[in-house]
Structure 1
């Protein structure tokens, strides 16, 4: 599985005195999509690390000229390379060897006996964490100028961006002015507003409650720690604190939090995809009920997205519009066959039944949170600018833009398609009808965009055997 976060192709330096092992590691890393540079020993690795920037360095331990521990120590001692993650990869997997690697400053320790999948998974994790941490913003809250400066310096050297406040009230003002940081590190005992009050206030606020909150405190008794965790603190560090320990705790909280959010986003996207696939199957089942409705939703979605791109709409909105257009007739699944498939014009009573399909479609989507933004387009695609449409009789700009776009594509495709009681209309006549409806039925700007889209795409009226909703 290739490396899939937002970082560009990761550049990795592999340091090992064995050509065979270097090539084996390079093979595994190329499976992740990495660009690999090799070095034969620690000295050459150090020279290459100084000459170029790497996203990760993987080093053996026992090598001539300079061993892996010494290489790691020198890399971490140099400000230019101190923030580059270093992973020791060795056949020495004793507790003593692992401790020695971490004492040298290594960010990870991999036994060479772990196997291909374990190796790639560990490297992905290191890269994910490095990418997640880089440039994140931390708000440091403490009434001591010395503490604020020392914490800020340590975090800045580790690659974080830092903002400061001298008490909880100042921190609240900073949040109101600047929005949510990625992490808050706060003292407990402060004038005006202490850390506990700041913590409880933030956790009650819907925009800020998910910010990880790290407490610095000299009151490390069991009762205080329990109260902190109960109030929502992610972790704490006792004062006087050790700067490397504080930085490591901040890195862990951030990486764990962002990886959790990333996994949750991936889970939601997967569920969203499965949900859309299920609904698409419903649409296909609906349109398969009759030759005259087959492919209508897909055609309207194609026209709507073409119009959206002509308007210069952002890609995310184009994608949402495409989904809304595909679902615009979803509510017809609740219309009886005797009405929906009637081979002729509808009676007034039957037309009233047909007019319920936008509301039925909206009701089907309403329990699905991820599709909530699409409901107005589905519910309103038969509204008219003059207020004579249905189901709510909306007028002008009260009609959502997505619905106004879909309405043009819906009418165009309906009129240029076969119906049980008539053949497709000529395109000139269809465009004439659409122009006549400008300003009364259809949005004038959307009609203009539709005509631009047709001209730019060189399209002529399609002639598939499909139909839309009766006009």
Structure 2
């Protein structure tokens, strides 16, 4: 009955039970085994046999505990990967946050968890040590290491390394001498470690509770690989994004070469648009995108002859029609690529007006994309502040008055009312942006 109760309780079910009894009938042995006994010995029992049977039962218990720990480790690995994937933002990847999550899952307090995790980056001389402190708190320390000092713990590429001090043929004090002093100063002593190296990154877990085995090493390997995969994906996507942004900026600069506008103008329009988007409460991704893509508003001017763009006098009706075509030309240049959708909308609609008097399609009110309405205000302000062949540069006060009160050509009903009010609230910021990014001739 005692054995049955032990085995029925999930908390004690895997405690090994060796039943020693004077009962020697076969049915008694069967009843004991059915009650959950791991072994059954009939008296009289030889001492050597009992010790051997107990050792075997304890080995089986240790194997079960290691398998159970490995299972929990795999479960933590899956949780870590799910969190990394569901929160994955490659353009704003936070390596430190992903590493901290890895450390929390690996160092989670249980009967076999390690006490510390060292991650050494590709450059080989900068490491980050995560340690489990009282109450489960994880701390992080940055270490400056001498790469040769890591040879004693670093395995070959793609391999794991396991070390328990008593298996190394050294005393515990002698064992400490193999570790970099920066590591030893933080940990004070090391009893064992598991290490894994891949992609130039070394991951080492120190001071497991009990001997470290292949089970723990494989969990460490799995967690490290998942983290490094996410990090590599992010780095590659960021490299692609940088190339994409460089191409967009190059296209914007090419359009400027055909016009009197300057690179400073495009920067200012980006910043004005970002300011307005923030002020009216647009989502952060929208704010970030318009703060980059607003510069594409006049990309279609590549298709307009420089003589028209730089003409000091009034354009003829025919020339004006050619000038207006730059909106449609810009949309055609940018095409249907989803990543350029905002840029295309800006190029096509930044001359549309809230009251429907704009071009190329005479859109009215909310028919005009939000990014077009915002960029239209940004472009109008900067055009008023900038020198053109047909007009001088106006000071901030005059530009503000023309937008707010109108001058015949520009009237308040050209603008989305919410954006109009946002401009009035942030007018001082517009003035600051112009001064900050003012060109040499402005």
Please classify the TM superposition score into its range, dividing by the shorter chain length.
Answer: 0.5 to 0.7
Alignment of 1:443 with 2:419, yes or no, is no
CA distance in 2, matches of 1:33, 1:452: 47
CA distance in 2, matches of 1:128, 1:87: 18
1:211 matched residue in structure 2: none
CA distance in 2, matches of 1:292, 1:28: 45
Alignment of 1:62 with 2:164, yes or no, is yes
Between 1:417-426 and 1:323-332, the stretch displaced more is: 417-426
1:409-451 CA distance string (max 9 Å, x none): 1111101111113211243332222123455311122111112
The alpha-carbon deviation at position 344 of structure 1 amounts to 2.5
State the SS of the aligned residue for 1:332.
helix
Alignment of 1:361 with 2:330, yes or no, is yes
1:131-173 CA distance string (max 9 Å, x none): 69xxxxxxxxxxxxxxxxxxxxxxxxxxxxxxxxxxxxxxxxx
CA distance in 2, matches of 1:88, 1:24: 10
The alpha-carbon deviation at position 408 of structure 1 amounts to 0.8
Structure 1: give runs of 5+ residues left out of the alignment: 15-22, 38-47, 68-85, 91-99, 110-121, 133-258
CA distance 1:460–1:451, change in 2 (3 Å): farther
1:126 matched residue in structure 2: 223
Alignment of 1:332 with 2:301, yes or no, is yes
> Larger Cα Rg: Structure 1 or Structure 2?
2
CA distance 1:103–1:270, change in 2 (3 Å): closer
1:199 matched residue in structure 2: none
State the SS of the aligned residue for 1:343.
coil
Q: Aligned runs of 1:198-237 on 2, under 5 Å? A: none
The alpha-carbon deviation at position 381 of structure 1 amounts to 0.5
Q: Residues 117 and 129 of structure 2 are in contact (CA less than 8 Å); yes or no, is this contact kept in structure 1?
A: no
2:128 matched residue in structure 1: 34
The alpha-carbon deviation at position 103 of structure 1 amounts to 5.4
CA distance in 2, matches of 1:321, 1:387: 23
The alpha-carbon deviation at position 395 of structure 1 amounts to 0.4
Q: Residues 300 and 328 of structure 2 are in contact (CA less than 8 Å); yes or no, is this contact kept in structure 1?
A: yes
Q: Aligned runs of 1:366-405 on 2, under 5 Å? A: 366-405=335-374
1:106 matched residue in structure 2: 217
Q: Residues 339 and 346 of structure 1 are in contact (CA less than 8 Å); yes or no, is this contact kept in structure 2?
A: yes
CA distance in 2, matches of 1:457, 1:422: 20
Residue 426 (structure 2) aligned to one of 445, 448, 453: 453
Q: Residues 290 and 342 of structure 2 are in contact (CA less than 8 Å); yes or no, is this contact kept in structure 1?
A: no
CA distance in 1, matches of 2:370, 2:236: 30
Alignment of 1:300 with 2:300, yes or no, is no
CA distance in 1, matches of 2:260, 2:440: 7
State the SS of the aligned residue for 1:61.
strand
Alignment of 1:278 with 2:247, yes or no, is yes
CA distance in 2, matches of 1:425, 1:54: 58
Q: Residues 384 and 393 of structure 2 are in contact (CA less than 8 Å); yes or no, is this contact kept in structure 1?
A: yes
Q: How many residues align?
A: 279
Q: Residues 291 and 465 of structure 1 are in contact (CA less than 8 Å); yes or no, is this contact kept in structure 2?
A: no
The alpha-carbon deviation at position 331 of structure 1 amounts to 0.9
CA distance in 2, matches of 1:339, 1:401: 29
Q: Residues 311 and 449 of structure 1 are in contact (CA less than 8 Å); yes or no, is this contact kept in structure 2?
A: yes
Ranked by relative contact order (alpha carbons within 8 Å, sequence separation 6 or more), the top structure is: 2
Alignment of 1:7 with 2:103, yes or no, is no
Q: Residues 303 and 329 of structure 2 are in contact (CA less than 8 Å); yes or no, is this contact kept in structure 1?
A: yes
Structure 2: give runs of 5+ residues left out of the alignment: 1-92, 108-115, 141-159, 170-191, 197-210
State the SS of the aligned residue for 2:371.
helix
The alpha-carbon deviation at position 322 of structure 1 amounts to 1.4
Q: Residues 295 and 466 of structure 1 are in contact (CA less than 8 Å); yes or no, is this contact kept in structure 2?
A: no
The alpha-carbon deviation at position 102 of structure 1 amounts to 6.6
Q: Residues 303 and 409 of structure 1 are in contact (CA less than 8 Å); yes or no, is this contact kept in structure 2?
A: yes
State the SS of the aligned residue for 1:286.
helix
CA distance in 2, matches of 1:353, 1:28: 56
2:33 matched residue in structure 1: none
The alpha-carbon deviation at position 270 of structure 1 amounts to 2.9
CA distance 1:393–1:466, change in 2 (3 Å): farther
The alpha-carbon deviation at position 278 of structure 1 amounts to 1.6
